[in-house]
Amino acid sequence: MAESEIDHESATPVDQQIAAYVIADIERGVSAVGLRISSESAVVQRLRGRS
């Protein structure tokens, strides 16, 4: 799975894939530890924009 893709056919549940995406953002410094994460709609837009 590419970093910005959610694979609905994967054995990994979608919520776990999204959690991995959010964690990767924190590790890359895109999101800061302790701050609120983006809204669901914002995450969806970012995932769609990166495909």
What was the pLDDT predicted at 13?
93
What was the pLDDT predicted at 51?
46
- The CA distance from 21 to 17, in Å, is 6
- The CA distance from 24 to 35, in Å, is 15
Q: Give me 9's structure tokens.
A: 């056919």
Tens digits of residue pLDDT in 1-51: 445 678 889 999 988 988 898 888 889 888 887 888 878 888 878 877 754
Whole-model pTM over 0.75? no
